[in-house]
Structure 1
């Protein structure tokens, strides 16, 4: 048998996509509802079209934004402990999988993972990262789902039964949800993993205010471009007429709520249209688009407990800059 034939025998089967991605009608309805509220809002889940996903990857490489680099280093340093705590033959279910950089470390470090289900709203990034992981881990069945993970998502069963499920939610994405939604999402994870599963969660920890604000206002303006790209997507997919030159990115820390609050601010009094509906904005009026909570242990433990989970293991980066928490059913 020649080398080409041998390679073909070990080539992984192409991942079969379960496509539950929101439609333009979903986006249009969400945008109209958000702009009709007081204060005005836009859903951050729509940041991640193809361009938005590319810009977010650029954000993670900016000098002010060390969250991703810190989490990757912590994941590498803690992998042996994570492997022992999770056990063999897990089915990994990742929420908001993105580029899959952290996933590669996790799948490579676990003991004989049998399947991987990324749940990601950006179809292009999902297919690209899953295909790359399929070649890196041909023994792991790839079961990607294109969906909004903030809603109930069916998890495809693997061909090889798994010993348990491991929910993976890195990047402090949990911090993008308010208290009630965070508990609801953790409770959904609790249901997904069952009575013997685990959940590995990344949380950004409270630190110097100037440092936290700088991470969301990088000097190169990549985060601003990422935020304002949302308007370009809404124009394209929801029949809107936002002029991005008339809006600015703003991200500030709220000490009362222990979170970064990101808005798109109208630079002038103006009227924008979405699917034929008109919305007036005053000069300086914000459209709220994202929150990013910064946690203490007491805060996070309370969220987990409210969802029927408890912290089984804690790993922190140097100077407590970032944390990984392994949860199990309470």
Structure 2
């Protein structure tokens, strides 16, 4: 493919080193913690796709509703000639934007999976043969050097993934995104919104137990990659709404006292009965908070859209200094049923 280029900023052993470091540091501290990125091996990715189709899990449907309704407006406001997607995966969601952006010349997907990047690029170039795809094999939580592509740029960060970062991490991340942007470039970001705790807990603890299997999958990853002897069935899946922090916490709770050997690290990890590993934080947001966090990073909130039920939001913010007038406030929710 002449219009496909891949830049590797991660070597073939980067993931292994990061896993070893995260497991060593996370399971020898109290309370124990594992980053959610380790859910997503091949099996974990399949389980997450299944989660997005569950009746309890609304975020994917709500975000797609907004994208379908607002893609033309996003295109008109940004005039983007380059689309950068952080954590692109299969690039499925951004197809709506790519089709809606008449001036688009380049697409820059950023992901840690080379197979996902190349597979998505083949599919997109078959549909859009005039598009240039310059993929970055990179960790988007680290500072990025974007390829030389036409301005203006639109960076998209979808799925509510920003909620997996704690507030100090979000501040660092948003400042790093702002550093990638020139005046007049924009950020489109998905955020799940604060709502009734019962709705949120159900979304992370479904009746079919798919999310429970997804949560336990991180133990299967450690077993396979680090020669450990976790038995996922020894741990209960727990989802808790933290009202004070306004985030969901996913945990794995030991059913009994046990000790786990992680041979690749020459480590034995003891667990008391009822002891937990925090595996994910998923923050939920309010408009004012999002606006303040963006402003602190040097980004001006220009548009705010929610789905019809007000469950999920897409925010469009602009890097200042261009002299370009910020677009008028959006009216709010999109039309149609959720």
So what's the TM-score if we normalise by structure 2? 0.89
Contact 2:80–2:154, Cα closer than 8 Å, also in 1: no
Q: Aligned partners of 2:169, 2:182: CA distance in 1, in Å? A: 20
Alignment partner for residue 142 of structure 1, among 118, 133, 144? 133
Across the two proteins, how many residue pairs are aligned to each other?
316
Q: Aligned partners of 2:99, 2:179: CA distance in 1, in Å? A: 26
Structure 1 unmatched runs, 5+: 1-10
Partner secondary structure for residue 195 of structure 1: coil
What does 1:175-190 correspond to in 2, within 5 Å? 175-190=163-178
Q: Which whole-Å deviations, capped at 9, do the CAs of 1:264-306 have from their partners, x for residues lacking one?
A: 1111111112221111111111101111111111111121122
- Equivalent residue number for residue 5 of structure 1: none
Contact 1:260–1:291, Cα closer than 8 Å, also in 2: yes
Pair 1:54-2:46 in alignment: yes
Q: Aligned partners of 2:61, 2:255: CA distance in 1, in Å? A: 34
Pair 1:230-2:218 in alignment: yes
Q: Aligned partners of 1:115, 1:192: CA distance in 2, in Å? A: 16
What does 1:100-119 correspond to in 2, within 5 Å? 100-119=91-110
- Equivalent residue number for residue 306 of structure 1: 296
- Equivalent residue number for residue 287 of structure 2: 297
CA drift at 1:195: 2.0
Q: Which whole-Å deviations, capped at 9, do the CAs of 1:125-175 have from their partners, x for residues lacking one?
A: 3332232122222222112222221112332334xxx12221100111101
- Equivalent residue number for residue 154 of structure 1: 145
What does 1:38-53 correspond to in 2, within 5 Å? 38-53=30-45
- Equivalent residue number for residue 7 of structure 1: none
What does 1:13-92 correspond to in 2, within 5 Å? 13-16=3-6, 18=8, 20=10, 22-89=14-81, 91-92=82-83
Q: Please list every run of at least 4 consecutive aligned residues from structure 1 whose deviation after the TM superposition is greater than 6 angstroms.
A: none
Pair 1:121-2:109 in alignment: no
Alignment partner for residue 253 of structure 2, among 245, 265, 268? 265
Sort the Cα spacing of 1:30 and 1:316 in 2 relative to 1 into closer, same or farther, 3 A: same
Partner secondary structure for residue 319 of structure 1: coil
Q: Aligned partners of 1:223, 1:197: CA distance in 2, in Å? A: 37
Q: Mean Cα displacement is larger for which, 223-232 or 128-137?
A: 128-137
Contact 2:4–2:121, Cα closer than 8 Å, also in 1: no
- Equivalent residue number for residue 3 of structure 1: none
Contact 1:50–1:124, Cα closer than 8 Å, also in 2: no
Contact 2:80–2:153, Cα closer than 8 Å, also in 1: no
Q: Aligned partners of 1:12, 1:103: CA distance in 2, in Å? A: 22
Partner secondary structure for residue 272 of structure 1: strand
Alignment partner for residue 195 of structure 1, among 156, 177, 183? 183
Partner secondary structure for residue 309 of structure 2: helix
Q: Aligned partners of 2:247, 2:102: CA distance in 1, in Å? A: 36
Alignment partner for residue 88 of structure 2, among 85, 93, 97? 97
Q: Mean Cα displacement is larger for which, 174-183 or 228-237?
A: 228-237
Partner secondary structure for residue 268 of structure 1: coil
- Equivalent residue number for residue 253 of structure 1: 241
Structure 2 unmatched runs, 5+: 321-338
Sort the Cα spacing of 1:204 and 1:56 in 2 relative to 1 into closer, same or farther, 3 A: same
